[in-house]
Amino acid sequence: MGRVAVVTGGSSGIGAEIARALARDGWHCILLARGDERLHKVAAEIGGEYAVCDVRDREAVERTAEELRERHPAIGLLVNNAGIPGRSGFLEMAPEQIEDVLRTNYLGSVWCLRAFLPALEAGAPSAVVNNVSVEGAVAFPPVGPYAASKHAQLAFSRALAAQLPSRGIRVHTVNAGWVETEGFPQRTTLRPGPLHRAIVEPEAVARLVVRMLERNRREAFIPWWFRPVAVAQAVWPGLFARVLARGGGRGFRVEDG
């Protein structure tokens, strides 16, 4: 058995592709997600394990981590990938959905990191990969609550990157743009045009994760040219807001999962 990796949201999309890529690289993967059937299928395909777990539920995450530590007291990698879309603005989205997006995309990563930290320390040198989003660095009006959840997750990831190395744990942050998955059907939600060529497949994100682990690369954007967009909003927030207000922010649905 290779080193042990825990991958949240591992039943489909980017999470499943990351698990496949890690398995090919010699990792023994434990997949977490809410649905049993797909989890079982992917875990069987890669020769891994799975546990049904809702990352929104802190107590459930803690129970799952405790159960897994009985079999795997030391893990080498935690991939915080679980996420849900939020295709609406702050003024339009139902309050319950706003809370759900924040609990899944942000707090789910926090609860998993805290619950699996003892196993990561036991497995040091180890690593955490946080699958954030370009939306963690760029805020577009049509997906404001989603962007807020990813901004929080990005701050969480960057804070950990400064805090965890002293414990022998590296932190890697992935900021993906438009990724075509079942839960995030970018080709049908993104306005048709040249930007469709910027849509990437989950396999590309999975390959990037493996490269980041191999080369100890701490933070990356995919596609790479989203980085200057993020810098532009950080440096010129007023100008960026005026440009988005002029177009209503329409056509930009930068979500991953």
Tens digit of each residue's pLDDT (9 = 90 or more) over 80-113: 999 998 888 999 999 999 999 999 999 999 999 9
From the list 155, 34, 158, 154, the residue with the least C-alpha distance to 100 is: 34
Element (H, E) at 129: strand 126-131
The pLDDT-based confidence of 242 (bands split at 50, 70, 90) is confident
Confidence of residue 254 (pLDDT cuts 50, 70, 90): very low
Q: Is residue 257 part of a domain?
A: no
Q: Give the per-residue pLDDT at 231.
A: 76
Question: Which pLDDT score, from 0 to 100, does residue 88 have?
Answer: 86
Region 136-150: mean pLDDT is: 87
Band (225; pLDDT cuts 50, 70, 90): low
Using the predicted structure, report yes or no on whether residue 249 has a pLDDT greater than 60. Answer: no
**Mean pLDDT over residues 217-234, rounded?**
78
Sign of CA dihedral 199, 215, 115, 42: positive
Indicate the pLDDT class of residue 247, thresholds 50, 70 and 90.
Answer: low
Task: State residue 140's pLDDT score.
Answer: 76
With respect to residue 253, please indicate whether it lies within any of the assigned structural domains: no
Where is average pLDDT lowest: 46-55, 146-155, 200-209, 240-249?
A: 240-249
Domain of residue 120: give its range: 4-247
Is 242 among the domain residues?
A: yes
Domain membership of residue 114 (yes or no) is yes
Q: Does residue 142 belong to any structural domain of this protein? A: yes
Band (pLDDT 50/70/90 cuts) for residue 251 is very low
User: Which CATH number fits the domain that encloses residue 201?
Assistant: 3.40.50.720
| pLDDT (average), residues 178-203 | 61
Q: At what angle do helices 144-163 and 108-122 cross, to 10 degrees?
A: 20
The encoded tokens of residue 151 equal 């901004």
Task: Give the pLDDT confidence score for residue 167 in this predicted structure.
Answer: 98
Angle, vertex CA 75, rays to CA 155 and CA 223, nearest 5: 45
Query: 109 in a domain, yes or no?
Result: yes
Active site residues: 146
Residue 111: inside a domain: yes
> Considering the domain boundaries, does residue 254 fall inside one?
no
pLDDT (0 to 100) of residue 120? 98
Domain total in the chain: 1
- The confidence score (pLDDT) of residue 255 equals 45
Task: Please check whether residue 172 is in contact with residue 218, taking contact to mean a CB–CB distance below 8 angstroms.
Answer: yes
Share of residues in the chain with pLDDT > 70 (%): 82
Average pLDDT estimate for 126-143 = 88
Mean pLDDT on 40-61 = 98
